[in-house]
Amino acid sequence: MTRTLVEVASEAAVCTRCRLAQGRTQVVFGQVNAGADLLFIGEAPGFHEDKQGEPFVGAAGNLLNRMLGEIGLARDEVSVVNVIKCRPPGNRDPQPDEIEACTPWLVEQISLIQPKVIVTLGNFATKYVLNTATGITRLRGQMHDWHGRSVIPTFHPAAILHGGGEKSRQFELLREDFELVRRTLAAPVAQAQIQAQAQAQVQTDEPSIDQLELF
Ligand code: URA
């Protein structure tokens, strides 16, 4: 029987599938909104997220909220999750076995949320979801077909804040990407084309969420 997001979240809250369980304050399951068409996927909780139990709080979260506002959306109208649900110590990169252990939570989240558009925030989430070694600078700005859904990669808000902020070229590009998100959400016809193309996709041998049964 299909579980609800609330049931999955309460099971995830006591997860001990990897070593990150030892150092966390709490599992950051994510802000999940089953009715939302738009899902953001980040990397992993940081210091503040670990303390507060919510994804993308603090400065990066404020920038995300601001960009959402620019396309007419409030934060509580979307879903926001991370690939990894527990904070890696010192914000180090997640390790392959931690990613593998955490992947079923993300798969279940996507299956239950059924988003129309997924925005991957930054290099880590983009490479993982799209199963590619290509970097964010080349992948952003376009819509990618993935299991019948639209994936739009963009820069991680924290990278914008650390790399020049509002005056940077990256910030302009972030704005453009959010505009693409707005247009994609408003275009029901495009979805049928994406579904047809997605069926023709070829999978690679690299480990990634792409190889799991999602739907
Ligand atoms: N960075 C992320 O990737 N996720 C968060 O939740 C916060 C910062």
Residue 70 falls inside a structural domain = yes
- Cα 189 to its chain centre, rounded Å, is 24
Longest dimension (CA), the chain: 50
Q: Of all atoms in ligand 1, which is nearest to the CA of residue 43?
A: 3
pLDDT per residue over 163-180, tens digit each?
A: 989 999 999 999 999 999
Q: What average pLDDT does this structure show over 32-43?
A: 95
**Which residues have CB under 6 Å of ligand 1?**
42-46, 49, 55-56, 60, 82, 158
Predicted local distance difference test score (pLDDT) of residue 148: 86
**Mean pLDDT confidence for 200-204:** 43
Counted domains in the chain: 1
Residue 86 CA, ligand 1 centroid: distance in Å: 10
75 vs 109: CA distance, rounded Å: 18
CA 121 to ligand 1 center in whole angstroms: 9
Output the CA 155–ligand 1 centroid distance in Å.
12
| Cα–Cα distance list, 150 to 6, 53, 69, 118, 206 (Å) | 25, 28, 21, 6, 21
Of 104-118, 144-158, 161-175, 186-200, the one with minimum mean pLDDT is: 186-200
Q: What is the pLDDT of residues 55-92, one digit of tens each?
A: 999 999 999 999 999 999 999 999 999 999 999 999 99
CA angle in degrees (0–180, nearest 5) for 57-58-60 = 90
CA 200 / ligand 1 centre spacing (Å): 33
The CATH number of whichever domain residue 39 belongs to comes to 3.40.470.10
Does 50 reside within a domain?
A: yes
- Of 26, 43, 83, 99, the residue with max ligand 1 atoms within 8 A of its CB, to mutate for a pocket test, comes to 43
How confident is the prediction for the chain on average, in pLDDT?
A: 91
The backbone torsions φ and ψ at residue 99, rounded to the nearest 5 degrees and listed phi first, read -65, -45
215 within domain boundaries? no
In a domain, 62, yes or no: yes
Closest ligand 1 atom to the C-alpha of 48? 7
Provide the 8-state DSSP code for 88.
Answer: P
In a domain, 210, yes or no: no
Centroid of ligand 1 to alpha carbon of 24 (angstroms): 14
**Which residues have C-beta within 8 Å of that of residue 180, sequence separation ≥ 6?**
141, 142, 143, 152
Centroid of ligand 1 to alpha carbon of 88 (angstroms):
11
Q: Which domain holds residue 17?
A: 5-204
Q: Nearest 5°: CA angle at 186, between 182 and 187?
A: 120
**Under 8 Å between Cβ of 36 and 78:** yes
* pLDDT score of 169: 96
In a domain, 146, yes or no: yes
Has residue 214 been placed in a domain? no
**198 is a domain residue:** yes
Counting from 1 in the atom list of ligand 1, the atom nearest the Cα of 61 is 7
pTM of the model: 0.90
